[in-house]
Structure formats: C-alpha cells, structure tokens
Amino acid sequence: MSSIPPSSSTVFIVDDDEAVRDSLRWLLEANGYRVRAYGDAEQFLREYDENQAGVLIADVRMPGMSGLELQEQLLARNSPLPIVFITGHGDVPMAVSTMKKGAVDFLEKPFNEADLREIVGRMLEEAAQRLNQAQSKRNHEAMLARLTTREQQVLERIVAGRLNKQIADDLNISIKTVEAHRANIMEKLQVTTVADLMKVALHQES
C-alpha cells in the first residue's frame, strides 16, 4: 500500500485518445489522485516541472511524438519521473527494450481499476524515491561546489587516505596550509569528523 497521500503527487496522462484520457482521469480522481491529462507528448513536455513528484501514464503509439520518443526526451533531461506505458499490442520485444531504458511498467488495454490502482500506487513510491535521490544529488553537488579548486584537491587526497604531510608534498604547500584547507573544507561541508567528511565526499547516506 502506498504511504504517499495521493493528493501530494500528480498522475500525468498522455494519450491522443480522449476516451482513454477521460476514463483514466475518472478512475484516478475517484481514488483521490490529482490528475493532469494531455492529448500529445509535446504539450506535456512544455508544461512538465521536473521537481514535481508524480508518475506518467503514456500511450506507446501516438501521432507526432510517440510514447517511446517521449521516454527518450525525459531520459535526456535526467527526469526522475517513472513511466507506465499503455499498450494494446502486447509487443514483448518493445517492452523488454523499454524496461531496460528505465520504464517501470505496462498497462495493457483494456485495463481494470484494480490493476491501475496497484501500478500507480507502486510507481508513486518509486517517484518519491527518485525525486529524493535527485534532490540529494543536487544538494551534494551544490555543497561540493562551495569548495575552491585547491580545497577540492585537498579533499580528493583526504578521501584517498593521504596524510597531511603527503598532501603537502603532493601539492607543494606547507602542512599548516593543508590543515587550514581541511578546516575550511569541514566547515563548508558542515561536518565535524573525518568519517562524516568521507560520507559527504563519497555521497553516502549517514
């Protein structure tokens, strides 16, 4: 059972068939989900905010940009949005290829409410995890970006297990300068121990 309140995330529907869009919207809204529906992939891409948690339900075959081409566009943007493809064709080779690129599930026509609820709930859990990971990565990169070039060089050597004297020799600077850089690095990365410093530098969970 999904622990994410349905209303906190959005289910995006991209399908050129109005009847399918309306049917999905009705089923999802009846289960408390916030839904946004689009008749084509291009419109969805223009309006999609990558910082918004949600799941995308897209038809595989559409005029203009297909669902598979939409997936390629999202992958190029490093989007964390999980995708559920609607297909009535049971194209196994396509499904295998698409899953390898990160699609998370398929919804075969005609679909039923139980399948839809189960898949969307599971995918929203996945969406929350992906969004958290993406945010964590951005925060980590922003933190490391505070370091000067010299501090980054010192940090790389700390992570490699080099001692202060060895770092001083490597960079042709004094040990006192290395110590000053270490202090600055720990302050900027908001850590107090070398163990925590290593976790931040290697982007490990505390």
Give pLDDT tens digits for 117-171: 888 888 888 888 877 887 888 888 888 889 999 999 999 999 999 999 999 999 9
Dihedral angle, C-alpha 176, 147, 134, 128, nearest 10 ° = 60
Q: What is the CATH number of the domain that holds 153?
A: 1.10.10.10
Does 90 share its domain with 183?
no
Dihedral angle, C-alpha 119, 61, 89, 27, nearest 10 ° = 40
Q: What is the CATH number of the domain that holds 73?
A: 3.40.50.2300
Full residue range of the structural domain in which residue 188 is found: 146-201
- Per-residue pLDDT, 100: 62
Of 102, 100, 105, 94, the C-alpha closest to 58 is 105
Q: Is residue 75 part of a domain?
A: yes
Length of the chain: 206
Does 37 share its domain with 87?
yes
* Cα–Cα dist 116/4, whole Å: 16
The residue-averaged pLDDT of 167-188 equals 94
Q: Is residue 206 part of a domain?
A: no
Q: How confident is the model at residue 92 (pLDDT cuts 50, 70, 90)?
A: low
- Per-residue pLDDT, 77: 85
Does 50 share its domain with 12?
yes
The residue-averaged pLDDT of 51-56 equals 83
Does 153 share its domain with 78?
no
Q: Is residue 140 part of a domain?
A: no
Does 64 share its domain with 90?
yes
- Cβ atoms 55, 123 nearer than 8 A: yes
Last residue of a domain, one of 77, 104, 134: 134
Q: How many domains does the chain have?
A: 2
The residue-averaged pLDDT of 73-88 equals 84
Task: Spell out a b/e string for 60-86, using b for 16 or more CB atoms within 10 Å of the CB, else e.
Answer: bebeebebbebbeebeeeebbbbbbbb
30-46 pLDDT per residue, tens: 888 899 999 999 999 99
pTM of the complete model beyond 0.75 = no
- Out of 111-120, 123-132, 176-185, give the one with best mean pLDDT: 176-185
- Per-residue pLDDT, 147: 93
Provide the percentage of residues in the chain whose pLDDT is more than 90. Answer: 33
